[in-house]
Amino acid sequence: MKKNLKIKYTLALLSALVFLISSITQASASTSNSTNPINPTSAPSFANNKSMNFLKNVVGLDIDRYEITLISSKVRDYTTDDNPIGKLGYIQTNEVYELINWDTKTEVYSDLRVSFSYVNSTLRSCSLKVDSGIAYSNKPLSADTSEAASIFLDSYNNFSKDNELNTMKSMLTTVNLNANESKTTDNLRIEIRTASDITSICWVRTQNGVDYSQLVLEYINGTFLDFFDSRSYITIGSSKVNIAKEEAISMALKQADGFSYNYNGTKVGNLTIVKDKIQAELKANVRFNPSEYYPCWVIDLPLNEVYPGSIYYIEVMVWADDGQVISCKTMGYGGPEPSSYSSDTEQSETLPTNPSNTINARQNEVIRDNLTIILATVILATLLSVITFTVVRIKRKRK
């Protein structure tokens, strides 16, 4: 009877051993199945095929190596006045994606955040942020920023069929990308700005000293960072500048003569303008239709002191073609600094924080799998010891 119990006990232990070996084999196979355990089982998922094509064929990102998640997609209608910003004349679409790659062989965990912005159906901007790891490329890329930008423009030309990009490409050879400088050819100006490891290359459409639309590329240590192109939706209504700077300043002083404003129910007047510090700059501004720009003078009239409400200058805007006054208003702390008026009305989109913590979750899964394997190995060793001990005892008793 005792011998039968021992045999049954031994068989049970052997069954448990077989089960553990099978479990360990399956766990090991699932963990080492690929160098990238986050291995997409289908084509990368993009809400917009243009985003996928741009990222793959223009930026040159190897999107097939990543698990891609759409974090947010927002459509905003700026064709009417029924929004906080006002009528801009276009529909804006913003998309944000997270791209994850996990390479267990090199133990590199890559987390990328890519954002796109569209005006109507045309791509306006693309931003690539590497939160951790590597932005894998699908083709050899140059570490030289000038060459990288040249390759980008060629790819972008294939993407958008825009011949102006050829002119922009040729202008790259006329500037030094390691220094801040600018050069103008006909109605196109190239500007180079460097700060720390970031290089910004900007091509600006300019006429009669007024800047209109632009294309901007930014690189960090030769790696793509940002792209922005406003040329598709910003048009020029007129580029005529019939009012000279001195005449515009004279108009502004006349408009500001006797100017006053109300602050907390009190009228504030007798403002003194410091005339030797007046600044005037030609800018572009919308006039009749959204996104259609005209040249205007922006004149800053600094005051001799800070007045109630933190007011320290008066801003006057005058159309540069016919001299009509657009506006006259006080400016101060909490608002734009003098001469910071922007000609290009853009909407900023704050990227949402990562709600999924995908990388940490994946790492935790690895830790759990490894602990399971270790625990199973310990149990296996213990069972082997017990089985060996039991078999020895049975043999001794038989003798």
Which phi and psi angles does 71 have, rounded to 5°? -80, -45
Lowest mean pLDDT among 16-30, 37-51, 157-171: 16-30
Q: What percent of the chain has pLDDT over 90?
A: 61
Decide which of 300, 332, 364 is a domain's last residue.
332
Binning pLDDT at 50, 70 and 90, where does residue 10 land? low
In this predicted model, what pLDDT tens digit does every residue of 293-328 receive, in sequence order?
A: 999 999 999 999 999 999 999 999 999 999 999 999
Is the predicted pLDDT of residue 156 greater than 90, yes or no?
A: yes
Binning pLDDT at 50, 70 and 90, where does residue 49 land? confident
Regarding whether 308 and 222 lie in a shared domain, the answer is no
Regarding whether 228 and 81 lie in a shared domain, the answer is yes
Regarding whether 163 and 83 lie in a shared domain, the answer is yes
Regarding whether 57 and 131 lie in a shared domain, the answer is yes
Regarding whether 167 and 54 lie in a shared domain, the answer is yes
Regarding whether 288 and 210 lie in a shared domain, the answer is no
Instruction: Report the domain count for the chain.
Output: 3
Kindly state the average pLDDT of the residues 270-281. Answer: 95
Regarding whether 203 and 272 lie in a shared domain, the answer is no
Is the predicted pLDDT of residue 204 greater than 80, yes or no?
A: yes
**Is residue 40 domain-resident?**
no
Is pLDDT larger for residue 31 or for residue 286?
Answer: 286
Amino acid (1-letter code) at residue 55: L
**Is residue 82 domain-resident?**
yes
Amino acid (1-letter code) at residue 299: I
Regarding whether 199 and 298 lie in a shared domain, the answer is no
Regarding whether 95 and 14 lie in a shared domain, the answer is no
In this predicted model, what pLDDT tens digit does every residue of 71-111 receive, in sequence order?
A: 999 999 888 887 777 788 889 999 999 999 998 888 899 99
Angle at CA 284, nearest 5°, toward 279 and 289? 140
User: For position 90, what pLDDT does the model report?
Assistant: 87
Amino acid (1-letter code) at residue 392: V
Regarding whether 266 and 206 lie in a shared domain, the answer is no
Regarding whether 134 and 3 lie in a shared domain, the answer is no
**Is residue 348 domain-resident?**
no
Distance from the Cα of residue 59 to its chain's centroid:
13
Containing domain of residue 326, as a range? 245-332
Is the predicted pLDDT of residue 347 greater than 50, yes or no?
A: no
